[in-house]
Amino acid sequence: MEADDLALVSRAKAGDPEAFRALVVRTQRKVYAVALGIVKDRDLAWDISQEAFVRVHAHLSEFKGESSFSTWALRIVSHLAIDSVRKERTAAKDDIDDVRETDLAGGGEGILATALGNDPQENALRRELAGKMAEALAQLPEKHRTILVLREVEGLSYEELAERLGIHKGTVMSRLFHARKKMQALLREYAGIEPEEAAEGGAEP
């Protein structure tokens, strides 16, 4: 944990509102990004982010500094965001995490990598797709959005994901596989790569 953060937390614990404000300002955008990725709605994400900081303040005395302040704040906001979208969960197809033969069929592996080229920072298609990522994410089912955000934005390991979501490590891997597969299919669609073309383009990395 950064020394600055520790000092600010100590001052905030002692009741200094400006120290707490500084901690909020340092982490607010990432906290909002996590909430937005999970709940999709900007206003709801704003409200959940603020509620997360209210909870952070309420439990500040329990914060021991074992993880960074931002890690702690992100954990709280993701819990709140997941709670708020839990009702979205539906039964049937989306609840199946297993990877089956049919999930591996269809080809297209490596086609995005080829299209995006060797220098992704300079690639125009990459910039275009980056602008579509949030839109693509919003089209995924709640459990796939959630696991992608926790993995990609919060940076959780498989073990941490398993603990956070209450699932086995094997399920973490297969759920991530499905989430990425859906995301890549949407991005191929945005990039104008037809499924047939993808299937033909297939196996070359």
Partner 1 sequence: MTVCLLFAPMIGARPGDLTGEEASALAEHLASCNACQGRLADEEVLSGMLSEALMAEANRRDFSAFSDEVLARIPTLERAGARTAPQGGMLRPILGWVRHHRLLAAASALAPTLAALALIVYLGQGSAPEGAPVEVSSEGRSTMVLETSEGPVVLLGDLEPEGS
Q: Is residue 149 at the binding interface for partner 1, with CB under 8 A as the rule?
A: yes
Alpha carbons 73 and 118: distance in angstroms, whole number: 36
* Shortest distance (Å) from residue 42 CB to partner 1: 7
Identify which of residues 54 and 96 has a Cβ nearer to partner 1 in the complex.
54
Residues in the chain: 205
**111 is a contact residue toward partner 1 (CB under 8 A):** yes
For position 126 contacting partner 1 by CB under 8 A, the verdict is yes
Comparing CB distances to partner 1, the nearer of 68 and 184 is 184
Nearer to partner 1, 21 or 86 (CB): 21
Rounded CA separation 107/202 (Å): 5
> Of residues 2, 90, 157, 196, which one binds partner 1 by CB under 8 A?
157
**Whole-angstrom Cα distance, residue 174 to residue 99?**
6
Burial label, 144 (beta-carbon count in 10 A; 0-12, 13-18, 19+): buried
DSSP sequence for 111-160: HHHHHH-S-GGG-HHHHHHHTTHHHHHHTS-HHHHHHHHHHHTS---HHH
The residue from 2, 4, 29, 163 that contacts partner 1 (CB under 8 A) is 29
- Are 27 and 69 spatial neighbours (Cβ–Cβ below 8 Å)? yes
Residue with Cβ nearer partner 1 (1 or 99):
99
Q: Which residues lie near partner 1 (CB under 8 A)?
A: 15-18, 20-21, 24-25, 28-30, 32-34, 36-37, 42, 46, 49-51, 53-54, 57-58, 99-101, 104-105, 107-114, 116, 120, 126, 129-131, 133-134, 137, 148-149, 152-153, 157-159, 170, 173-174, 176-177, 180, 183-184, 187, 202-205
